[in-house]
């Protein structure tokens, strides 16, 4: 499958990894939008949040269970934003479900 994040998961494309286990991978975003910006992906290829259903939602739990730990490990102290762009109108560019974690500064209060 021609998926950048599947290739990062398999190690075919290098990344700055923060965390990995059998279900998820966290790595720094290549184009950071905040002082701390990393991505968490389920290893299972799900195209976007729109592809979550009762057969695969267990991996979403695995992602969210690790977010507080990873935010602390990444050095975030005063809160963070979790974003998952889903589909064309949300400008999702990589078609493998991922959660952006942004922090390290006061983020804008309004949606762009
Ligand atoms: P989105 O627009 O929500 O689909 O976000 C995709 C993000 O993925 C974007 O912030 C840049 C990041 N990204 C794309 N390709 C790579 C890559 O090869 N390595 C890393 N570390 N991040 C990537």
- pLDDT tens across the length of the chain (112 residues): 799 999 999 999 999 999 999 999 999 999 999 999 999 999 999 999 999 999 999 999 999 999 999 999 999 999 999 999 999 999 999 999 999 999 999 999 977 5
Give the three-class secondary structure for 41: strand
Predicted confidence at residue 22, as pLDDT, reads: 98
Could you tell me if the CB of 13 is within 6 A of ligand 1? yes
Of 27, 39, 99, which is best to mutate to test ligand 1, by the most ligand atoms within 8 angstroms of its C-beta?
A: 39
- Cα 20 from Cα 27, distance rounded (Å): 9
**Burial tier of 19 (Cβ tally within 10 Å: 0-12, 13-18, 19+):** middle
**Cut 0.95: pTM above it:** yes
Of 30, 33, 34, which is best to mutate to test ligand 1, by the most ligand atoms within 8 angstroms of its C-beta?
A: 30
Measured from the CA of 15, which atom of ligand 1 is nearest?
21
Could you tell me if the CB of 38 is within 6 A of ligand 1? no
Could you tell me if the CB of 5 is within 6 A of ligand 1? no
Predicted confidence at residue 112, as pLDDT, reads: 59
Predicted confidence at residue 1, as pLDDT, reads: 74
Q: Which two tokens stand for residue 10?
A: 């398999």
The beta-carbon contacts of 47-56 under 8 Å, at least 24 apart in sequence, are: 47/95, 47/96, 47/97, 48/84, 48/85, 48/86, 48/87, 48/92, 48/95, 48/97, 49/84, 49/86, 49/97, 50/86, 50/87, 51/97, 52/97
Longest CA span, the chain? 38
Predicted confidence at residue 110, as pLDDT, reads: 78
Give the DSSP H/E element, type plus range, for residue 32: none
């Amino acid at each position: 499958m021609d998926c950048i994040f599947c290739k990062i998961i398999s190690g075919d494309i290098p990344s700055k990894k923060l965390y990995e286990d059998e279900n998820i991978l966290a790595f720094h975003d290549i184009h950071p939008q905040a002082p701390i910006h990393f991505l968490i992906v389920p290893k299972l290829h799900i195209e976007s949040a729109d592809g979550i259903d009762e057969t695969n939602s267990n991996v979403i739990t695995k992602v969210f269970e690790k977010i507080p730990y990873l935010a602390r490990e990444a050095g975030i102290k005063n809160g963070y934003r979790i974003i998952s762009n889903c589909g064309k109108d949300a400008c999702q560019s990589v078609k493998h479900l991922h959660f952006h974690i942004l922090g390290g500064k006061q983020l804008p209060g309004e949606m762009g």
